[in-house]
Chains A and B, each alone.
Chain A
Amino acid sequence: MGNNKSDMPPRRTMDVINAGMEKRKKSEKRFQFLGQASILLAIGFLAMLLISISSKGYGAFQQTYIKLDVLVNADQIDSEKLNKGNYSALIKASIRSLFPDVDGRREKRQLYGLVSQSAAFKLKEMVIDEPDLIGQSVAIWVLADDEVDMFFKGHIDRNVEEDARRIKNTQIEWIDQLVAQKRMEKRFNTTFFSAGDSRNPESAGIWGAVVGSFYTLLVTLLLSFPIGVASAVYLEEFAPKNKLTDFIEVNINNLAAVPSIIFGLLGLAIFISFFGLPRSAPFVGGLVLTLMTLPTIIISSRAALKSVPPSIKQAALGVGASPMQAVFYHVLPLAMPGILTGTILGMAQALGESAPLLMIGMVAFIVDIPAGVFDPSTVLPVQIFLWADSPERAFLERTSGAIMVLLGFLVLMNALAVILRKKFERRW
């Protein structure tokens, strides 16, 4: 039996390898195909998302305006009390003058409904700015009502039955006349970028939310960056390695995975109920988001510190630097690109966060632009959430528009992270 082996022709290693090559090549091909397919799938979904959002949202950057010739009648306005004047009557009169043959309460209401309620406010501001206008006739472009806007942009089909659409047949006639008279046109929507929230979609804007987001992120950055980097430096470079620091490390890693709404509950219980800080304030929002981003910043900073070659620190210690000097002169600057990237990504995460802010009241309907970190305000993602919840067709457009702005900010922040990293790396 023992001779069997020596009787067989010797198999060369090359033969064995060649026999298996086919299989190896196949599995390699299969793996490559899987990878490429998943990337293509991801790109496809991303493209779908972007196309869907921008096709819905691009309309938000334009708005329909109507030109009215308003006679600023001195009867309706007391020149001593410009604030109290009946401006909406003036607007109504000017609309009526365009369509003198409209009669009946219902028709009149439909006619007035072509123009946004904000028109009267706009006229008021003009008159307050320039009291000389009283008694004169002025031509002003005022916002059209949101339904008119939707119709003019083609979101409402005139071939649909009258009962099934919000714009009535008579209104469509008037709109056609206004278009023929060149009294109605689409313009760039400055309101969207300069106004706060509003119940009327045509005069609602994102500026209030943008400013609220800015203040919130400012507080978050000012708190989380120094605290996060300091914790990371201490834990990574100075803390003794014992059970306590291990415990802290495990907990920081776990905190990064805690659902953000929990942080909102914590903010509500501690900052608002216990410390009595104001509700809906960017300051509290910033505190909550600080708690949420700290783990991200600490983890990425520690990773960045760890990636600095230990030989650099040894070299510094070798010429007699104290541990702090070694860290602050050499290790930290080298880790900075990584720390900044982590921080900016944490900030981007905070910018897109809405759940914890709902808990501390930043979901309130706030019209005014916040002037400081203690003013009630909302933030971009919460604004998107609020608008997405509103029934008006025009808010759908604004929701997508606001998402585009938010995505724009996120892209900007990520680009900044890349630029900073590149810039710092080039220095060495």
Chain B
Amino acid sequence: MKTEQKKEQNELLENEIRTKKAIDLQSKIPKIDRENRSTVGDVRLEDPRMRCTDINVYYGDKHAIRDLNLDVGKKEILAMIGPSGCGKSTFLRCLNRMNDTIDICRVTGTIEMDGLDINDHSIDVVPLRASVGMVFQKPNPFPKSIRENILFGPKIHGLATHKEDLEEIVVNSLKKAGLWNEVKDRLDQPGTGLSGGQQQRLCIARTIAVEPEVILMDEPCSALDPISTAAIEELMLELRESFSICIVTHSMQQAARVSDRTAYFHLGDMIEVGETKQVFNAPLHQLTEDYITGRFG
């Protein structure tokens, strides 16, 4: 029921966007030229969860991200869109320093969280990654039981020791991830035995089990069918009540459906950022418009 309503809503929204785009194109408001690569739109927010300043990322000699400034708000969904290889996943991985695991990757600039620069040497990645969780493109549950999947994080961080507390974490995380009803009878069966969509929700449950403040999602639905995708999008909207979510997606419809703000990346530059409605209905930059109208990408 809920999903169907959702679909209708989405269709309405998409129709709206399409008509507006048509009007927009007719009205021929002058766009910012394609050659201009400086960011358009408000990159700053009033009370941000994370504030990125002058981020540059290099893979060896390759300059993957140039001078990026962006705020991640509290309790918002920030979508990052753009053609492949534009640096959006790289930027996402900066936010919990997953780029550290790549030897040739070098990150400069500051990412402030709670008044501290997470790139600072004195910051340990362990607590950082506990508060900035990550969901990957391909569902990657541990090849262990569903319960163990959820409890790995809480156990290594020592969040709970009593059996009842641990059980409560399992139940709460699975409920929040909308997976409880499907798996409550088989918590001891391997997480890898679930369907793709369930596995991805299990990964989300595993991430929220350590109660992070920000959840990074790197194309979480690209390996899933439309129904599972709808379930995860619904879940994201619910999770927004308690977490900040940054999502990288290739589906513009998805960005339009779930996000509050959208950032458009192009070949290592962040071209435009703004309220999702504005970015999709009245993009300020010619490149953004080219992309969302499907002229390339």
Residues in chain A within 8 A of chain B (CB atoms) = 240-241, 309, 311-312, 314-322, 325, 329-330, 334, 428
A329 close to B152 (CB less than 8 A): yes
The listed residue with most A CB atoms (<10 A of its CB), out of B103, B126, B207, is B126
B31 at the interface (CB under 8 A from A): no
The interface-forming segment of B15-23, B135-143, B162-170 is: B135-143
B126 close to A320 (CB less than 8 A): yes
A-B contact pairs, 16 of them (CB 8 A): A240-B103, A309-B140, A311-B138, A312-B140, A316-B142, A317-B98, A318-B98, A319-B152, A319-B153, A319-B156, A319-B207, A320-B125, A320-B156, A321-B152, A321-B153, A322-B156
Residues in chain B within 8 A of chain A (CB atoms) = 96, 98, 101, 103, 125-130, 133-136, 138, 140-144, 152-153, 156-157, 190, 192, 203, 206-207, 209-210
A317 close to B136 (CB less than 8 A): no
Contact of A319 among B103, B143, B206 (CB under 8 A): B206
Chain A: minimal CB distance from B143 (Å) = 4
Chain A: minimal CB distance from B219 (Å) = 13
A318 close to B134 (CB less than 8 A): yes
Question: Contacts A315-B203, A330-B142, A428-B192: A320 and B157 contacting too (C-beta < 8 A)?
Answer: yes
Question: Contacts A320-B127, A428-B192: A315 and B101 contacting too (C-beta < 8 A)?
Answer: no
Give me 6 other A-B pairs in contact (C-beta within 8 A), A318-B98, A428-B144, A428-B190 excluded. A312-B140, A319-B129, A319-B152, A319-B210, A321-B153, A334-B143
Chain A: minimal CB distance from B62 (Å) = 18
Contact of A311 among B126, B140, B144, B157 (CB under 8 A): B140
* CA A116 to CA B270, docked complex, whole Å: 95
Question: Contacts A241-B103, A319-B129, A428-B192: A312 and B143 contacting too (C-beta < 8 A)?
Answer: yes
Chain A: minimal CB distance from B71 (Å) = 23
Contacts of A330 in B (CB 8 A): 142
Chain A: minimal CB distance from B160 (Å) = 14
* CA A52 to CA B142, docked complex, whole Å: 51
Chain A: minimal CB distance from B193 (Å) = 10
Chain A: minimal CB distance from B207 (Å) = 6
Contacts of B157 in A (CB 8 A): 320
Contact of A315 among B103, B126, B140, B190 (CB under 8 A): B140
A318 close to B156 (CB less than 8 A): no
* CA A142 to CA B192, docked complex, whole Å: 66
Closest chain A residue to B129, Cβ basis = A320
* CA A148 to CA B157, docked complex, whole Å: 76
The listed residue with most B CB atoms (<10 A of its CB), out of A315, A316, A319, A325, is A319
A312 close to B142 (CB less than 8 A): yes
Chain B: minimal CB distance from A305 (Å) = 15
Contacts of A311 in B (CB 8 A): 136, 138, 140
Contacts of B128 in A (CB 8 A): 320
Chain A: minimal CB distance from B155 (Å) = 9
Question: Contacts A325-B156, A330-B142: A318 and B133 contacting too (C-beta < 8 A)?
Answer: yes
A314 close to B142 (CB less than 8 A): no
Contacts of A428 in B (CB 8 A): 143-144, 190, 192
* CA A155 to CA B134, docked complex, whole Å: 76
Contact of A320 among B130, B140, B143, B203 (CB under 8 A): B130
* CA A309 to CA B190, docked complex, whole Å: 17
Contact of B207 among A318, A321, A322, A334 (CB under 8 A): A318
Chain A: minimal CB distance from B100 (Å) = 9
Contacts of A325 in B (CB 8 A): 156
* CA A367 to CA B129, docked complex, whole Å: 64
Closest chain B residue to A311, Cβ basis = B140
* CA A316 to CA B151, docked complex, whole Å: 11
* CA A314 to CA B218, docked complex, whole Å: 12
Closest chain A residue to B149, Cβ basis = A315
* CA A317 to CA B98, docked complex, whole Å: 8
* CA A313 to CA B34, docked complex, whole Å: 40
* CA A213 to CA B135, docked complex, whole Å: 52
Contact of A321 among B96, B138, B141, B156 (CB under 8 A): B156
Contacts of B129 in A (CB 8 A): 317-320
* CA A317 to CA B136, docked complex, whole Å: 12
B127 close to A314 (CB less than 8 A): no
B136 close to A316 (CB less than 8 A): no
A329 close to B156 (CB less than 8 A): yes
Chain B: minimal CB distance from A105 (Å) = 81
The listed residue with most B CB atoms (<10 A of its CB), out of A312, A317, A330, A334, is A317
* CA A320 to CA B206, docked complex, whole Å: 11
Chain B: minimal CB distance from A326 (Å) = 9
Closest chain A residue to B144, Cβ basis = A428
* CA A321 to CA B149, docked complex, whole Å: 13
Contacts of B98 in A (CB 8 A): 314, 317-318
Closest chain A residue to B130, Cβ basis = A320
Chain B: minimal CB distance from A243 (Å) = 13
A316 close to B152 (CB less than 8 A): yes
* CA A312 to CA B156, docked complex, whole Å: 16
* CA A329 to CA B136, docked complex, whole Å: 19
Contacts of A241 in B (CB 8 A): 103
* CA A311 to CA B138, docked complex, whole Å: 8
* CA A240 to CA B101, docked complex, whole Å: 11
Contacts of B134 in A (CB 8 A): 318
A315 close to B192 (CB less than 8 A): no
Chain A: minimal CB distance from B53 (Å) = 24
Contacts of A322 in B (CB 8 A): 126, 156
* CA A240 to CA B100, docked complex, whole Å: 12
A318 close to B136 (CB less than 8 A): yes
Contacts of B153 in A (CB 8 A): 319-321
Closest chain B residue to A323, Cβ basis = B101
* CA A428 to CA B133, docked complex, whole Å: 25
Chain B: minimal CB distance from A53 (Å) = 43
* CA A325 to CA B153, docked complex, whole Å: 11
* CA A318 to CA B192, docked complex, whole Å: 18
* CA A309 to CA B139, docked complex, whole Å: 12
* CA A220 to CA B126, docked complex, whole Å: 38
Chain A: minimal CB distance from B132 (Å) = 9
